[in-house]
Amino acid sequence: MKPLKRITINPKVMGGKPCIRGMRVTVGTIVGLIACGKTIAEILADYPYLERDDVMEALSYAAWRSEERELDMVTG
């Protein structure tokens, strides 16, 4: 995955959830809006401080995270 320039994670912003450029708009919010049928144009109209590249990078980040696997640690 290419480096992310628009996704930030800060424990002091939205509880450390991945956000768009340090703002209080989470990747989950963007993905949820798309899942509900909103278009990118509608999202940008509702959030005028966002840019198209913000939405696209949020979707890329979500796709990348969905491909990750969590492995149980076996101790013994």
Q: What does the pLDDT read at residue 31?
A: 97
Summarised one tens digit per residue, pLDDT across range 14-44 is 999 999 999 999 999 999 999 999 999 999 9
Rounded to 10°, the helix 27-35/52-66 angle is 90
Compute the average pLDDT of residues 3-11. Answer: 93
- Amino acid code (one letter) for 76: G
User: Does residue 68 have a pLDDT over 90?
Assistant: no
Q: Is the pTM of the predicted complex or chain greater than 0.75?
A: yes
Q: In the structure, what pLDDT confidence band is assigned to residue 70 with cuts at 50, 70 and 90? A: low
